[in-house]
Structure formats: C-alpha cells, structure tokens
C-alpha cells in the first residue's frame, strides 16, 4: 500500500481526520478502514464550524446538478471531482401507490435512474474514485454483489483508471454484462459475497490497489449521505417523518441518518425526529433477525434469496443500523422472495417505476409495516429505491405475463383484444367470489 500512504492532500478541505467509530482514535486521511487499537471501523470526521459558516442553501443550489453540489460535506479536497452526473435523482410524490397502501404522503427516491449505471452505487463510487485519484491510486477494485462492480467499472473507465472487480460467479446476467462492457478485469469468484469480500481483503493487503469498499471504505461510504441531503433539499429543506431503505452491509442506512444529522447540525434544516426502518430479504436477514430477537450483535448467515444485490451474510455496519432503527423508533423487517416479486410489480403497476429485487424488498417491507400499523398514514414517508429492474430480469421472468402475439391484421388484433378482456373479466369474477 506504498502509494496509498504517500502524499495525502488537504487544502481547502473541511474533512479533517479518520476517526474510529468505537474508541474515537484519530488517523491521517489515508487509505485505511480499521482502527489499529480496537479494530473498529473508521469514519471521516469534519469541521462542522467551518461548514456552518461557509455553506448555505443558496451556495448548494448554485452548485452542479449532481452529488457534487454537496462537495463540502464529502471527503475530497479537489475542486474538480469525477462528475458523471451522479445524483439529484427524482423524488417522486406517489399518488396511486400511496392510496393503495393507505398513506397520505409517500415519496419514492428513485435511484433506479441514477447515472451512469442505474443504481445508488454510482454515488459511493464517484466519491471513492475521486478520493482514490487524490491518494495516488492508479488501479481501483471492489468486492461486489453486482451493482458496485457496474459503477466501479464505468466510472473508472470515465476517469481512465485501471480496474479489476470481484463478483460472486452466480450473479444475474444483466449485472455481469453491465460490468464487462466497460472492459475491466472481472473475477467471477466461485463463492458467495462474504467469501468474495474475504478474498479481496487479502488482495488489498498485498497489492497497492484502491478497493472502494475495503481500504477506501471510509470515503466511499460517505457518498451515501447524499441520499439524505437530496431528500431534505427536494422536500423544500425539510426532513421527512419516516424513511424505509434496504440493508445489505447497513452502510447506506447509517449514512442517510448521518446526512440528516449533519444538515441539522449546520442549520440547513430544522431538527426533527426521523424514524428509520430497514428492509431485508428473509433469505439473508441477519440484521432483521437480531432486531426481532432483541440482540445487539449480528449472527452471520449464509444467503439464499433472489435479492442478490443485498445478500450480505456478515454485514459490516449491521450493529450501527440496528442501533439507528431502535433509537429512532423505527423497525427492521424482512420479506419472502414471492413478496419481493409482488413488491416489484406493485411499484411498477402503480407508479411506472421498474426496480430490481432490492427495491422490491423495500416496497414489500413498506407494505408490511403499514399493514402492521408501524407506519402512521399521516407520516411523510420516503422509500429509497436503489436499483433498476432491467438488471435483474431473471427475478420476474414468468411473473409479468406474456405479450399477445397477433398477425398484422385488424381482425387478429380485435380477436386478441376481446380474448384478453374476457380473461380479465374472468380474473375479476374469481376475485369477487
Ligand atoms: C449495495 C446495495 C444496497 C445496500 O447497500 P449497503 O450500503 O451495503 O447496505 C441496496 N440496494 C442496492 C440496489 C445495492 O446495490
């Protein structure tokens, strides 16, 4: 890691140190992620007095149409970050979905259309690779459940960095092709994500590469705070009452929370008690299980679910996610694979948004929480949709119906239309009896 520890630049930066989340020990702003004293995870610390004095709503609004409008809150020193248009995705006020669920004010934060690779991972990678470049890395890498490999390969291509990514060998075709197309080196590991991650930790120790979610993890994870900032800005500089987000490592969830805290701390929004609810798949629900069993530690599990993008059996930030859900009076729930497919279809049919399995998990958990009375209909609720359905087509193959094949003739069309209407009526009669 020689090049990594070398020249770290810190000019007009507002970030000042890496700080252990457990014991508070502070370190230089280098490529490292674990405390040398207590093995706790490191997090970037900022000078909030400087931020309070220099950042205003107007200065943010005058910034770029991307996550980089929040640059003073992100751990990069450069004024010239890698900007591929990541962020500022739509916050959609739902109408039909809200009514279907019985909520008054339900929003979808739609990262299914994030740039450049259609998932929230473009946020964390834009930040990680900008920082990697500052720290002098020329090769970047990651341990991925699919979306992270897409983002790392695409943004490395844009920035001219060498790239080698590691994925589990059994990923969805769209995620594999969506990485290969950028011509990185792709290692398909015969094992699950947790095994991929262990291998990558060894590689990171011996090669001088910047692993976005290992040695660069403190910088990388800060990118997720922008999911908090954007929602606050898009709600007219206000915080919602309740958020629902998917949990893999738990990082995204904790950073939305940190984003809200920071905006409150520097006076950009008024403080508010926001409830945080997390979503997992039954087939990989170590955090939901700990929540249900009232434990404050995570028992690792072996994943088996169609929600591969969030299938992390040993979640690095699991205990912090647990803590946030508990102290904000939120919840952590899990749902079955059939419920995940129903969730994908429900969002598509009511709002015209096609999400992947992680989004199906979030919508299914949202529904479950509303039905259990754990989300109040009066609460302003935001559900985070983190990935795009075109990448996980296998998951819904056979559940979305078939097109009506017809001859290029009007009477063929009319017969098919009549037949489909009859079938629809029959369906409804079955529902009614
Ligand atoms: C990676 C990922 C997540 C969760 O990320 P963590 O920060 O590890 O909890 C959620 N949704 C999608 C689509 C992802 O790719």
Instruction: Give the residue among 223, 412, 180, 392 at the shortest CA–CA distance from 306.
Output: 392
Annotated domain spans of the chain? 91-117+224-395, 404-433
Residue 116: is the preceding peptide bond cis (ω within 30°)? yes
Q: Kindly list the protein residues whose Cβ atom lies closer than 6 A to any atom of ligand 1.
A: 119, 121, 147, 246-252, 309-310, 356, 358, 386-387
Domain 91-117+224-395 maps to which CATH number in 3.30.365.10, 3.40.366.10, 3.40.250.10, 3.40.50.1100? 3.40.50.1100
Pairing of β 242-246 and β 210-211: unpaired
Give the atom of ligand 1 at the shortest distance from the alpha carbon of 251: 7
Tell which one of 108, 113, 121, 197 to mutate to probe ligand 1, the residue whose CB is within 8 A of the most ligand atoms. Answer: 121
Please give the distance, rounded to the nearest whole angstrom, from the Cα atom of residue 357 to the centre of ligand 1: 11
Give the atom of ligand 1 at the shortest distance from the alpha carbon of 119: 13
Q: What is the CB neighbour count within 10 angstroms for residue 191?
A: 14
Q: Over the range 13-24, which residues count as b (16 or more CB within 10 Å of their CB) and which as e?
A: bbbebbbbbeee
Q: For 135-146, what is each residue's pLDDT tens digit?
A: 999 999 999 999
| pLDDT average, residue stretch 255-270 | 98
Please give the distance, rounded to the nearest whole angstrom, from the Cα atom of residue 248 to the centre of ligand 1: 5
What is residue 423's predicted lDDT score, i.e. its pLDDT? 83
Q: How confident is the model at residue 12 (pLDDT cuts 50, 70, 90)?
A: low
Q: Structure pTM?
A: 0.95
What is residue 315's predicted lDDT score, i.e. its pLDDT? 97
Q: For 317-326, what is each residue's pLDDT tens digit?
A: 999 999 999 9
| pLDDT average, residue stretch 154-169 | 98
């Amino acid at each position: 890691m020689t090049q990594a520890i070398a020249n770290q630049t810190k000019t007009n930066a507002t970030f000042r140190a890496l700080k252990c989340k457990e014991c508070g020990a502070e370190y230089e702003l280098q490529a490292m992620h674990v405390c040398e004293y207590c093995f706790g995870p490191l997090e970037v610390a900022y000078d909030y007095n400087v931020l309070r004095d220099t950042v205003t709503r107007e200065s943010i609004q005058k910034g770029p149409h991307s996550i980089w409008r929040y640059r003073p809150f992100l751990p990069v020193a450069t004024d010239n970050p890698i900007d591929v248009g990541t962020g500022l995705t739509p916050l959609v006020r739902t109408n039909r979905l809200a009514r279907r669920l019985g909520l008054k004010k339900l929003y979808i934060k739609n990262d299914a259309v994030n740039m450049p690779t259609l998932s929230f991972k473009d946020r964390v990678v834009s930040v990680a690779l900008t920082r990697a470049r500052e720290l002098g890395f020329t090769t970047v890498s990651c341990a991925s459940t699919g979306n992270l490999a897409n983002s790392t390969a695409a943004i490395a291509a844009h920035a001219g960095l060498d790239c080698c990514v590691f994925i589990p060998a059994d990923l969805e075709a769209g995620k594999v092709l969506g990485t290969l197309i950028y011509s990185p080196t792709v290692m398909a590991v015969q094992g699950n994500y947790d095994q991929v991650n262990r291998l990558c930790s060894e590689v990171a120790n011996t090669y001088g590469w910047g692993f976005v979610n290992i040695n660069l993890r403190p910088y990388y994870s800060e990118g997720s705070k922008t999911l908090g900032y954007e929602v606050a800005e898009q709600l007219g500089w206000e915080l919602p009452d309740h958020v629902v987000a998917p949990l893999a490592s738990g990082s995204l969830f904790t950073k939305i929370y940190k984003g809200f805290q920071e905006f409150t701390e520097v006076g950009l929004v008024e403080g508010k008690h926001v409830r945080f609810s997390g979503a997992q798949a039954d087939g990989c629900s170590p955090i939901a299980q700990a929540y249900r069993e009232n434990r404050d530690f995570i028992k690792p599990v072996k994943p088996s679910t169609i929600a591969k993008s969030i299938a992390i059996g040993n979640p690095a930030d699991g205990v912090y996610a647990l803590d946030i859900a508990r102290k904000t009076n939120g919840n952590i729930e899990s749902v079955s694979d059939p419920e995940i497919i129903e969730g994908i279809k429900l969002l598509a049919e009511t709002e015209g948004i096609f999400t992947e399995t992680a989004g199906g998990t979030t919508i299914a958990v949202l529904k479950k929480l509303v039905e259990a009375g754990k989300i109040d209909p009066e609460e302003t609720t935001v559900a985070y949709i983190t990935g795009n359905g075109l990448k996980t087509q296998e998951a819904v193959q056979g559940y979305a119906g078939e097109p009506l094949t017809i001859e290029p003739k009007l009477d063929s069309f009319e017969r098919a239309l009549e037949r489909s209407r009859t079938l629809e009526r029959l369906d409804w009669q079955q529902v009614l009896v």
